Amino acid sequence: MIQIEYIGEGAIGKLKEVVASFALKKIFLVTGTASYAASGAQQPVEDALFGLEVLHYTDFGALPVQEDIDKGIVAYNAFGPSLVIATGGGHVMDIAKAINYFAGKKPLIAIPTTAGSGSEATRFAVVYKDGLKTSLESPEILPAVAIVDPALAQSVPKKVALASGLDALAQSIESLWSLQASEESKGYAKAALELVWNNIIPAIEERDKEAIGQVMLGAHLAGKAINISKTTACHALSYGLTYRFGIPHGVAVAVFLPAIIRFNNVLLPEPSVTPEAVERLLSQLGIINLSQFGVKATDIPSLAAEVNLERLGNNPRVLTHADIVRLYTEIL
């Protein structure tokens, strides 16, 4: 499926036209709670959906867990929508994509409100089941329409902007060296890395409007890149940290970047992106090691046992169990 994209300041104004083009009257709307209004998305979405039958679904937590998806499927089936709209960060996208995939596979319009996950551009949905991360994958999961408007990411809290921006940074780097990378994905990833790397500090620290827009565009391109290449070792090692210790996904991924860049020993197209430079970036953002998040040496064996093997298999250099334990220990 070829996705329709509306990108840039004011793109949210296209939503009414997009919804009308589907000529569908029952809308399953998935959003965050406070973030929906705070982002500025609520009013234009409500204006676009005026006069239509809408079920507004918000009954889920901060992670896309199977239990919340199951509840959403029940609500979805009882309502019987003909169109799905997801407005929010990556976990909102995952919830909406998973519910829609399992329950109806209706057209989905994705509207990100963070400069980070790139989920609006992928055929994947993350689901945590029994404490372990799984990934749904299907062309039917890819949203039919992506509306990427930097204005919607201006008001996110700093900690959300930080995690989102770091996720985009990691995605762009991992996509470049993934074993499944293609020339197309490398083109997206290279452009994404340049945008994110050069704008992430002013976007997070200064909340610079233009920088936020550049990181959001970079995140979208990184999403398009990993939609082809998938992610690699940094993501594979991160999921237990998020589920068990509550470390935001982007932070849990990025904390591995310096060590994995060294381990893979791959030259990146952005010469300034070195392990040392990434360490300085993380330090500037207050991310030093895993210990600051409560991870202990005694946690490493179980974390190493829970690594996502599918994503690990995309890494250009094979990681043994001993390598994995060493990497966790190195950043403890």
CATH number at residue 55: 3.40.50.1970
Which domain covers residue 20, as residue numbers?
4-153
pLDDT in tens, 141-197: 999 999 999 999 999 999 999 999 999 999 999 999 999 999 999 999 999 999 999
Q: pLDDT-derived band of residue 2, with 50, 70 and 90 as boundaries?
A: confident
* 50 and 95 housed in the same domain: yes
Do 142 and 75 share a structural domain?
yes
Q: Are residues 173 and 242 located together in one domain of the fold? A: yes
Domain boundary among 108, 133, 153: 153
Determine the pLDDT at residue 182: 98
Q: Are residues 16 and 149 in the same domain?
A: yes
Which CATH number do you get for residue 211? 1.20.1090.10
What are the C-alpha distances in Å from 219 to residues 38, 112, 204, 304?
21, 10, 14, 28
- Which among 28, 24, 148, 23 is positioned nearest to 96, based on CA atoms? 28
Q: How many domains does the chain have?
A: 2
pTM higher than the cut 0.85? yes
Of 153, 180, 214, the residue at which a domain comes to its end is 153
- Measured CA to CA, the distance from residue 134 to residue 149 in angstroms comes to 29
Same domain, 46 and 102: yes
Domain shared by 64 and 175, yes or no: no
